[in-house]
Amino acid sequence: MNKYTTCKYCIMHSGIPGITIDKDGVCSDCNDFVEEQKVNNETAAVEYTKKMEELFEKVKSEKHVYDAIVLFSGGKDSTELVNIAKNRYGLSILGFGMQLPIGKPQAVTNMDEVAKRIGFDLMKMSIPLDTYKRYMKFALMNSDKYDLGENIGCAACSFIFRWYAYRLAIEMNIPIILDGRDKWQNGGFLFESGAEIKEKALKGEKVFSRLHDLAQDALGTTKGLMGYDIEYFKDKNFPSFIAPFTFMDYNTMDSLKTIDELGLNKNDFETMYTNCDGVYLFDYITLKRFDCTSYHKGYAHGLRNKIPTLTQLKTDESGNDDSFMLTREQTMTVLDEYKKALFYMAEHSIDSAALTDEVIDEIIKLTPFSLKLYGEKGARMLVKRFTFMKEYADFFDINLLDIKEDE
């Protein structure tokens, strides 16, 4: 990270989309954070919660097929979200899940089990494999043309999930969509009223901004749920989009308690701790293009708020909930070593078949700090996971060496 100016407080640098560094060496996100602190986040959290609860009460008194759609991934946070929506707030909910080709089969099993035990209607949708590949490859190769930033891999993939749910809510006149993301995943509070989203949409600002243009260019059609045609739904109601865990007092450990109470196996959800395995490919492309990882903004947010965000690197197999709180310098070192490992593996075309013990030793030599931090076993396990980069590149028909470094 030499050619860019790095913020003196966090890990953001001037090459990351949307980030500027001021004359004192402080990034725009850190400056925004200081401004936000002045507004008093706690008051805002209480207000958002109150506003949400009022909306719930209003919606429950109206006639709707369902009060809310809950975006349901089969992970632990969205399990807790359906539990809260149904059991604490008494909403009539429709769980909505997406069976994406890149997702883990365990997630689908979890969806079915949780729906059965909590008791709610679950709708699962899938997308044809070739459509998905074509769309994702286009997104990964062209994200810079749409100004979609460093997190395009996850953003493009989860767009399918969010936008399908959104269209469904419009079609069925369901007034609320609940999303299980937390504050650090989202980068702040998320509470958007349907009326406001619609007002903007009528002025030409699309619901999920340029992701719609990207989808349309990739697939060349406005048919199907991937399409966006404001003429078609301008007379309908738009749902409010709310991520309660971005402002509610919520600890991710609460969800494990709920999973236990439902009689489900925590380990099936623990495996969901890690992000989807596509993230290594997405990170590689983003490291080449912007010299940062897909979740750089989230890691920086964690540093500012003293939340341990590198927990996905947690390697304890005994179900221990310990997580690391790394300093700014340690975070930068870990990420830099991660980059070295990925680049090495791309240059040498290392997939799981090519990953011998000797090759792992070579890669670990590049990551001495991570080795110390995660231990021999943990570091080797991480390197094994990194082979998903090459495997997903092959899956999307992307040649890793075709991705050029930003000049």
Give least dist CB 406 to Zn ion, A: 20
In the stretch 177-206, what mask flags binding to Zn ion with x, by CB under 5 A? ------------------------------
# residues contacting Zn ion (CB under 5 A):
6
Give least dist CB 336 to Zn ion, A: 17
Give 27 or 400: the residue with its C-beta nearer to Zn ion: 27
Q: Is residue 139 within 8 Å of residue 282, measured between CB atoms?
A: no
Give 278 or 302: the residue with its C-beta nearer to Zn ion: 302
Q: Is residue 140 within 8 Å of residue 153, measured between CB atoms?
A: yes
Give least dist CB 26 to Zn ion, A: 6
Binding of Zn ion by 33 (CB under 5 A): no
Give 308 or 375: the residue with its C-beta nearer to Zn ion: 308
Give least dist CB 153 to Zn ion, A: 23
Piece of 25-33, 77-85, 311-319, 346-354 that binds Zn ion (CB under 5 A):
25-33
Taking the alpha carbons at both ends of the chain, their separation in whole angstroms is: 13
In whole angstroms, how far apart are CA 383 and each of 31, 47, 61, 369, 370?
Answer: 36, 44, 53, 14, 11
Q: Give the pairing of strands 121-126 and 191-192.
A: unpaired
Beta bridge partners of 126: 99
Give least dist CB 22 to Zn ion, A: 10
Give 9 or 72: the residue with its C-beta nearer to Zn ion: 9
Piece of 27-35, 65-73, 143-151, 154-162 that binds Zn ion (CB under 5 A):
27-35
Give 111 or 332: the residue with its C-beta nearer to Zn ion: 332
Give least dist CB 19 to Zn ion, A: 8
Give least dist CB 92 to Zn ion, A: 43
137 exposure class (CB count in 10 Å sphere: 0-12, 13-18, 19+): middle
In whole angstroms, how far apart are CA 375 and each of 143, 323, 330, 331, 344?
Answer: 36, 14, 15, 16, 21
Region 123-182 residues binding Zn ion, contact defined as CB under 5 A: none
d(CA 320, CA 382): 17
Give least dist CB 9 to Zn ion, A: 5
- From 16, 19, 21, 27, residue interacting with Zn ion (rule: CB under 5 A): 27
d(CA 264, CA 191): 31
Binding of Zn ion by 303 (CB under 5 A): no
- From 16, 19, 21, 30, residue interacting with Zn ion (rule: CB under 5 A): 30
Closest CA to 159 of 176, 140, 141: 140
Region 243-302 residues binding Zn ion, contact defined as CB under 5 A: none
Give least dist CB 243 to Zn ion, A: 24
d(CA 344, CA 390): 12
Give 303 or 345: the residue with its C-beta nearer to Zn ion: 303
In the stretch 2-21, what mask flags binding to Zn ion with x, by CB under 5 A? -----x-xx-x---------
Rounded to 5°, the CA angle 212-12-159 comes to 20
225 exposure class (CB count in 10 Å sphere: 0-12, 13-18, 19+): middle
Which residues, other chains included, contact 110 with Cβ-Cβ below 8 Å and sequence gap of 6+? 74, 75, 79, 264, 268, 269, 272
Give 16 or 59: the residue with its C-beta nearer to Zn ion: 16
Give 293 or 387: the residue with its C-beta nearer to Zn ion: 293
Give 26 or 345: the residue with its C-beta nearer to Zn ion: 26
d(CA 341, CA 381): 13
Binding site for Zn ion (CB under 5 A): 7, 9-10, 12, 27, 30
